[in-house]
Amino acid sequence: MTERRQFRAIKGTRDILPPDSALWNRFEQTAREVFESYNFGEIRLPIFEQTELFARSVGTDTDIVSKEMFTFPLSQEFEKSTQLEEGPEQRELVSLRPEATASVCRAYIEHNMQALPGNTKLYYMGPMFRRERPQKGRYRQFYQIGAEVLGQSDAPAIDAEVLEMLLVFFSRAGLTRTTLYINSIGDKNCRPQYVELLRQELQKVKDQLGADSQRRIETNPLRVLDSKVPSEQPIIEKLPRISDHLCDDCRAHFAKLKDELNLRGIQYEENWRLVRGLDYYTRTTFEVIAEGLGSQNAVCGGGRYDGLVELLGGPPTKGIGFAIGTDRSILSIEETGNAPAPDGLSVYVAWMGLASYPTAVWITRKLRDAGLTVELPPEEMKFKKSLGLADKLGARYALILGEDEVASRTFTLKRLADAEQKKLTEAELLEYLESERRR
Ligand code: HAM
């Protein structure tokens, strides 16, 4: 006898069930509508790519690449010892995507999109994978909605328009209590000097820092600024700030970005410690924080990544974009009480007596064609039980269909909230329910 075994979703993954999934769909649909109004088109990307693509883009020393990717050899041949003996460089490793900016850049190059007129404006949505320690708002399979602009221009107006689009989307999606933080982390002309200065200053206070920050002094000193360790905060506050070390071009770019945001009436706060956890950023970086989420409160992160396309073997290209964390956004919408009520079930068809069944099937079809959500019980039920179920399912109306109704070619429509009943012909019924639906 086979052993009885219950399966559960793997830690860090989860099922999105109705009615939550309706909220997810609406959230994603709103993104499509808003992004398309800014002339973005959707790109659908593979779920896995060469590991090397992410290593090069996101950076080998980042947490994401060094410890969080789900990586496996592409084909079984690679497992065979003969192949392994040829050395690790012979094994083609692929990873489940931990983010999608690298894939968008890969696709931009592969499809020669620089030949297209104007800037290339793309959006995407779907699951991403990171082997993080699961907690509220942090999963191993999570979902992002992202947008990227690639092209020849790095005009700050592009950054500002991307941020405007993001905030218009959040407000339309019901995520209203948010704060936008911005920063500039310089470019290849000014950042290396700043990073060196930071490293020197950090060396002086090394003994007062925790193990993670101590390690980062060597691997990536900028990431020390991201530390949330309470005892490190007063030390970090005294470190040199990048804003005092930007080159003239980066300083002018950041000043113009702020003018552009003001022009659009976009509120923001500057945060000199916003360095982000991925290596590809230059100049503009930003994050949006939302309420109701505890420590995992970043609902969006993004920034400029001029030079990434080149790093991946493409032509010199400027880029900027963001990714919204859908899981956290939905959590915040729910916890701040802004979730719109789901449309739910409009009509429950309470039919009784086999003679009424054909009419029940056919009127159900008609109502569904008219765009209503309708439930038709598949088996005959006692009248009381049927209405009880209609109530439990949250139906707004019960359409009562018994022998009387069939004989008189009418329908009895009962509004379940106040038990008001009407006898209607088919035409009257359709007209009444359609006008209700539009309200
Ligand atoms: P990121 O900051 O790594 O940026 O991720 C963006 C957002 O994804 C985060 O703000 C968060 O809401 C969500 N997120 C990240 N990890 C998790 C997780 N384990 N569980 C739940 N939500 C998570 C990027 O991914 C960049 N590709 C953004 C970008 C696009 N930059 C330029 N273009």
Tell me which residue of 392, 374, 381, 321 sits closest to 151, measured CA to CA: 321
Query: How far, in Å, CA of 105 to CA of 57, rounded?
Result: 9
Given ligand 1 and candidates 16, 140, 142, which is best to mutate, with the most ligand atoms within 8 Å of its CB? 142
Map tokens 């949505």 to a residue.
125
Q: Hey, CA dihedral for 190, 194, 195, 196, is it positive or negative? A: positive
CA of 78 to the centre of ligand 1 (A): 31
pLDDT at residue number 417: 95
Q: Is the CB of 59 under 6 A from ligand 1?
A: no
Helix axes 191-205, 211-219, angle to 10 degrees: 140
Ligand 1 neighbourhood includes 322 CB (under 6 angstroms): yes
Q: Are 158 and 256 in contact (CB under 8 A)?
A: no
Residue 116 has a CB neighbour count (10 Å cut-off) of 12
Q: How far is the CA of 99 from the centre of ligand 1 (A)?
A: 7
pLDDT at 339: 82
Nearest to 330 by CA among 46, 17, 32, 68: 17
Rounded Cα–Cα distance for residues 309 and 316 (Å)? 7
pLDDT of residue 79: 54
**β-strands 269-270, 282-290: how paired?**
unpaired
Walk along the chain (439 residues) in steps of 10 and give the mean pLDDT of each run: 88 96 96 98 98 96 94 74 49 94 98 97 98 96 98 98 98 94 96 96 95 92 92 95 96 98 98 93 97 89 98 98 97 86 91 95 97 96 95 97 94 96 96 87
Report the distance separating Cα 386 and Cα 404, nearest Å.
17
Q: Is 279 in the pocket of ligand 1 (CB under 6 A)?
A: no
| Ligand 1 center from residue 144 Cα (angstroms) | 7
The residue among 371, 426, 432 whose CA lies nearest residue 397 is 432
* Omega prior to 377 cis, within 30 of 0: no
Atom of ligand 1 nearest to the CA of 299: 12
pLDDT of residue 172: 96
299 lines ligand 1 (CB under 6 A): yes
Residues 6+ apart with CB under 8 A from 318: 150, 151, 152, 153, 154, 304, 306
Amino acid at 432: Y
Buried b / exposed e over 393-415, threshold 16 CB at 10 Å, is eebbbbbbbeeebbeeebbbbbe
Q: What is the pLDDT of residue 261?
A: 98
Ligand 1 center to residue 323 CA distance, Å? 6
Task: State if residue 68 touches ligand 1 by the CB under 6 angstroms criterion.
Answer: no
- Beta-ladder partners of 149: 121, 320
